[in-house]
Amino acid sequence: MADGNQLSPEKRVEYWQRTSKLMWTILVLWFVFSFGFPLFAEQLNAIKIAGFPLGFYMAAQGSLIAFVVLCVWNARAQNKLDREFGVAED
């Protein structure tokens, strides 16, 4: 396992900035899927997907799929960052 102490102070700052940006991006998307879509469920129900109102679809399946995609994206992107900065775990 690599040690984060081997990074120079400049690299540590860059690593944290990029990790923080990834975290905030995913957090904002999570918020939109968790609270944004339900706020507009009535308006979304005017749109139909496979015969179901979009508001219902997002509550029943869409948000759950989005959460799984966000988790996979986060894991892959963070692993890529870790490898790039040489702090990846074996």
Model confidence, pTM? 0.77
pLDDT in tens, the chain (90 residues): 455 568 899 999 999 999 999 999 999 999 988 888 778 888 888 988 888 888 887 777 888 899 999 999 999 999 999 999 999 887
CA distances (Å), origin 34, targets 22, 63, 76: 18, 7, 22
pLDDT in the model for residue 5:
67
**CB proximity list for 82: less than 8 A, separation 6 or greater:** 88, 89
Extents of the domains making up the chain:
1-8+30-90
49 φ, ψ (degrees, to nearest 5): -125, 120
